[in-house]
Amino acid sequence: MIDHISIPVNDLKLSGAFYTKVLKTLGFSLLVQRESTYGYGKQYPEFWLNARVEMASLPEDSGFHFCLRCKTKDAVDAFYNIALSEGGKDAGAPGKRQGAMTEYYGAFILDLDGHKIEAVCFPKPTE
């Protein structure tokens, strides 16, 4: 249903370096690099960063977040750990969670501008 997402960032080069490392854990790479926008994806740009130098950081309680699906728990853990090592903030360590319909394994981070991002996988009950 959702084809792509775009988020504003204050410092495109800094956020680009952050997301290049973080999104690699999900199999995304930098596919488009222009003066004011970067596009990441697997085959086509699904995740965009748009430069907005006048933008202030988001408040931690903005109520907004988006979720990126992973294939494995290890990918969720890598997403979280790389994000923290690159200057992101913890917003929920990796672990089991109860969703609206099922249990899942996920982690939350705040990026350099305060966007809350979740990485999630749905492991088999034996995992």
CA distance 42 to 45: 7
Q: pLDDT confidence of 126, banded at 50, 70, 90?
A: low
Is 58 inside any structural domain? no
pTM: 0.91
**Is residue 125 over pLDDT 80?**
no
- Which among 113, 122, 118, 125 has a CA at the least distance from the CA of 54? 113
* Structural domain count, the chain: 1
Give the mean pLDDT of the chain.
92
The reply to whether 127 falls in a domain is no
Q: What is the mean pLDDT of residues 16-33?
A: 96
93: domain CATH number is: 3.10.180.10
Q: Convert 16-32 to b/e letters by CB count within 10 Å (16 or more is b).
A: bebbbebbebbebebee
CA torsion angle 46 104 92 11 (round to 10): 0
Is residue 97 assigned to a domain? yes
Q: State which residues form the domain around 35.
A: 5-53+64-121
Whether residue 111 lies inside any domain: the answer is yes
Residue 59 lies in a domain: no
Report if residue 110 sits inside a domain: yes
